[in-house]
Amino acid sequence: MTDFKKAYGRTELAEGGYSIHPSDRGGETYKGIARKFHPKWEGWIVIDMAKKMPGFPDSLRANASMEKSVQEFYKDNYWEKVSGDFLYRQDIANAVFDSAVNMGVAWAGRLLQRTLNILNNNGRYYPDIKVDGKIGPITVAAIKRYYLTSRDDKEADRIFIFWYNAYRVARYIAIAEKDRSQEIFIRGWGNRVQIKL
């Protein structure tokens, strides 16, 4: 069984707190929630009020209702959309959720589907699945079939996460090569992937 709070805890560390960076396509962000992409998030009202008070942005850390709002935002907009409760293994759920937050739900899904397709032994274990970015019953069933073909779940985790993260790295390289202003984020992106052998 996968756990949203475990996945969220890892992603929260990578996202940090309040930020405005000139090269960030999302503009002003709080814990990874970009104002440009999510202007109607209720937390922006609290942040705008906090800006007028001393101690900003550190003052936001002590606000329990803000933390609850952030977690609800991530659960509704990312965890649910990647079918986090059904991704079978916590390591997969952590990686797919973090990818969804950092590069979008559709990209996280596509990378998951591509990983499943390269690990199916040319269709012997299960047929290739459509790479459409939508994590539904077919994608979830392929994850389960992948584990059924493995003798050791921990070894299967290691192999799966290695290749999923390899696809993540390739995506980050493509972003940075296409738009050199994004190179400033490449070290942080590498830190959140953390491929381990």
- Is there a single domain that holds both residue 62 and residue 111? no
The CA–CA distances, whole Å, from 15 to 120, 136, 144, 146, 191 equal 33, 27, 30, 31, 11
Q: How many domains does the chain have?
A: 2
CA 10 to chain centroid, in Å, comes to: 10
**Domain check: are 63 and 151 in the same one?**
no
- Integer Cα distance of 82 and 111 in angstroms: 12
Across 25-45, average pLDDT:
90
pTM over cut 0.75 = yes
- What is the mean predicted confidence (pLDDT) over 91-100? 95
Average pLDDT over every residue of 132-140: 97
Residue 197 has pLDDT above 70, yes or no: no
Residues 109 and 154 in one domain: yes
Chain-wide mean pLDDT for the chain? 90
pLDDT at residue 118 above 90? Answer: yes
Query: Does 91 share its domain with 170?
Result: yes
Same domain, yes or no: 109 and 182: yes
| Structural domain containing residue 35 | 17-79
Pairwise CA distance, residues 145 & 183, whole Å: 38
Please provide residue 98's backbone torsions phi and psi, each rounded to the nearest 5 degrees.
Answer: -60, -40
**End of a domain among 30, 57, 79?**
79
